[in-house]
Structure 1
Amino acid sequence: MPVAARRLTGLGFGDLDGWAEDDHAAALRAFRATCDLAEGDGWTGLARDIRPESARGFFEARFRPVLIEDGSPALFTGYYEPEIEGSPVPSDRYPAPLYRLPPGLPWLTRAEIEDGALAGRGLEIAWVEDAVEAFFLQVQGSGRVRLPDGRVLRLGYAGKNGHPYASVGRLLIERGALVAGEATADAVRGWLRRNPEEGRTVMRANASFVFFRELELPSELGPLGAMGRPVTPLRSLAVDPGHVPLGAPIWIEANGAERLRRLMIAQDVGGAIKGAQRGDIFVGTGAAAGLRAGRIRDGGRMVVLLPLPQAQALLAAAS
């Protein structure tokens, strides 16, 4: 649905379920990481007005909650930063390459690249255990590769081949291999490993292929989001920037098993994140975070906090 068809509803902070109970100081720390990059009416000068000792007061004084809807139901998913074993050289144990962005960004499919179209060009950053690990690293868009000598490579998104993204989980549901509601990332990974030949065909149905770049980041920080700054576990949200401005605080009410009620910051994007009520929650790093992220597929509501001048202008124009 075009942006012009959006419906905007102004709300008060009392309309946000659980607002008073959240850790607003934690949200403010995440917000400060990118607030200087936010663009639009009302954002200039916000960073100068931040007082950490009154985080809740800052958000309530400078922002207005606005519910933005486009006719599609809310959907929250989770993503994480994988940490996997790998090697700087190929071997029988580590045969699957991770590639840097090629010059000219050739219009190659996943199948063509996996069949060796980029081999021998010096684009390999590292090799991992199998195509399944490489595939999931690409789906997440960033990760850590632990080398045999103990070093850890931090990899970030560098670009992709331009082909459309297709959800392997959805494809497996359509094939009857997995049941809707049970197609978690862990279930998909397990099926691909148990069915290597068919799994290869299914993965190649997602023609989109992601390239990486090496990052110099302290180990305690998360991966880089779309704003070029590290994202924060359970405080950073990937959104559709066609509906939600990057850098904006977002109140989420996710109605899954965890019933998340918290203030997050729109600091990332994703190929599958489309729509005004679509959010992807950054959960953290490593296997446990991956399991948690894979279980998130929740309805609910997300409410954007816009600076007062911007909120007033948009609501007036929509009335």
Structure 2
Amino acid sequence: MSGFDYVSAAKRVLATEVQALQHLERYFDAQFEAVCDAILHHQGKVIVMGMGKSGHIGKKIAATLASTGTSAFFVHPGEAAHGDLGMIEARDLVIAISNSGESYEIISLFPVFKRLGVTTVSMTGKPESSMARLSDFHLQITVPKEACPLGLAPTSSSTATLVMGDALAIALLEARGFGEEDFALSHPGGALGRKLLLKLSDIMHTGNALPVVGPQTLVRDALLEISDKGLGMTTIVDHNMTLLGIFTDGDLRRILDKRVDIHDTTIGEVMTLNPTTAAPNMLAAEGLNLMQSKNINGLVLLDDSKVVGALNMHDLLKAGVM
């Protein structure tokens, strides 16, 4: 151990950055509202730009906007000057980030923005800076001081920039009425996407994998169907695949307790009538809630009273719904 008080240094950083964020509140003003309105009613994309640390923050802001309903992506100013400006169209809106507001790489692009008629928003700590004066809108991110004791490394200012970007994204999210299902559409690979987009039809067993027997099937033969299909149950249907009842592992235990002869008894005599069922287009998350509320392990899926599929808790687990 060096003897240096790392914890005290960390706490100073935290205190400085908290102060910076408290200072930021004053900049959620009429200009902030105007920028939100401009983005909300814009027909094109939002292009975020920034150099150095501002660029890193800009990438995160663009990603947050994109995942919350605002079509956005990041373009590096250096790359923009060498061909990537072709990505930008007149109907787009540019958010240019620079704490000093004097980033040459971005300022050199403004003549092109003006020629194209692109709406520009600068996000700087200097309202009198070149970028602020050249832009259609300006979002101020001035902080009392950096957490870096040298006042050189972007620390408090980059944190304030990030929060300003988050504030924009979430304000727009709420203005759009962007909900969980919208979020899931842009996150189909995530847990929320699976819960909100996956339907029972996506995971149900069908065709030859579906356990099905007729009412005259002997219990012993029905048990072979249950074992073969591996769902812990079988459906009992008529010749039109209309559901008559189900028989589960639990039902087997109950009839054995009653000393029912499985070799002479038909499944129609011991099946469970009026079981819990669901429609194939039900969301998997809703199916899970239904099964948990009914304390059942399997679910039969019907389309116009006809059996079209079945599943159990293990299927929901494998699908990542649980």
Query: What's the TM-score, normalizing by structure 1?
Result: 0.21
The structure in which a higher percent of residues are strand is 1
More RCO (CA 8 Å, sep 6+): 1
The structure in which a higher percent of residues are helix is 2
Query: What's the TM-score, normalizing by structure 2?
Result: 0.20
Structure with max Cα Rg:
2
